[in-house]
Structure 1
Amino acid sequence: MSANDAIQDEVTSLNAIFDEGTLSALDEDQRLYSLRLPSLPSITLRIEFPADYPDAPPSVLGTQSVGQDVPKGMGSQAVDVVREVLARIYQPGEACIYDLLEEAREALEQAEEQGDIQLHDQQDAHLEEDKTSLIQSDPAIDLGPEPPWIVAPALTEKKSVFLARAAPVSSPAQARQYVAHLLATDKKAARATHNMTAWRIKGFNETSYQDCDDDGETAAGSRMLHLMQLMDVWNVMVIVTRWYGGIHLGPDRFRIINTTAREALVLGGFAKEGKESDTKKKGKK
Structure 2
Amino acid sequence: MSEQLADELEAINSIYGDGTLSPSDDDSPATYILTLPGDITSSTLRLQFPPAYPDEPPVVLGTHSSGEHAKRGAAARDLALFRDAVGEVYEPGQVCLFDAIEQVKELIAAVTTAEKEDEEEEEDVEEGNGKRVSSYDATAATHDTQTGGGGGGDLLGPEPPWTLSLPMIELKSTFIARCAPVTSPQQAAQYLQHLLASDKRVRAATHNITAWRIRGPNGTSFQDCDDDGETAAGGRLLHLMQLMDLWDTMVVVTRWYGGQKLGPRRFALINGAARDAFVRAGLVDEENKQEGKKKKGGK
Residue 33 of structure 2 contacts residue 45 of structure 2 at CA under 8 Å; is this kept in 1? no
Residue 164 of structure 2 contacts residue 177 of structure 2 at CA under 8 Å; is this kept in 1? yes
What per-residue deviation string (whole Å, max 9, x for no partner) do you get for residues 106-153 of structure 1?
A: 6665566667xxxxxxxxxxxxxxxx9x9949x9xx622111111110
1:205 to 218, 241, 260: 218
Other-structure match for 1:146: 159
Is the counterpart of residue 95 in structure 1 residue 92 in structure 2?
Answer: yes
1: CA distance between counterparts of 2:223 and 2:188?
11
1:172 Cα deviation after fit: 0.7
Q: Which amino acid aligns with 2:280?
A: L
Consecutive unaligned residues in structure 2, runs of 5 or more: 23-29, 49-57, 61-82, 113-147
4+ long deviations beyond 4 Å: 41-46, 59-63, 69-74, 96-115, 274-279
Q: 1:27 to 1:191 in 2, by over 3 A?
A: closer
2: CA distance between counterparts of 1:189 and 1:72?
20
2: CA distance between counterparts of 1:196 and 1:146?
19
In the comparison of the two structures, how many residue pairs are matched? 215
Is the counterpart of residue 186 in structure 1 residue 199 in structure 2?
Answer: yes
What per-residue deviation string (whole Å, max 9, x for no partner) do you get for residues 163-222 of structure 1?
A: 001111111111111111111221211111111111000011011110111122222111
Consecutive unaligned residues in structure 1, runs of 5 or more: 1-25, 47-58, 116-131
Other-structure match for 1:267: 280
Residue 110 of structure 1 contacts residue 246 of structure 1 at CA under 8 Å; is this kept in 2? no
2: CA distance between counterparts of 1:156 and 1:98?
31
Residue 135 of structure 1 contacts residue 180 of structure 1 at CA under 8 Å; is this kept in 2? no
Q: 1:178 to 1:277 in 2, by over 3 A?
A: farther
Q: 1:60 to 1:251 in 2, by over 3 A?
A: farther
2: CA distance between counterparts of 1:269 and 1:174?
21
Residue 231 of structure 1 contacts residue 276 of structure 1 at CA under 8 Å; is this kept in 2? no
1:27 Cα deviation after fit: 3.6
Q: 1:108 to 1:183 in 2, by over 3 A?
A: closer
- After superposition, the CA RMSD in angstroms is 4.6
1:34 Cα deviation after fit: 2.8
Q: Which amino acid aligns with 1:80?
A: L
Q: 1:246 to 1:73 in 2, by over 3 A?
A: closer
Other-structure match for 2:186: 173
Q: State, as a whole percentage, how many aligned pairs show the same letter.
A: 45
> In terms of Rg, which structure is larger?
2
TM-score, L = length of structure 2: 0.55
Residue 40 of structure 2 contacts residue 108 of structure 2 at CA under 8 Å; is this kept in 1? no
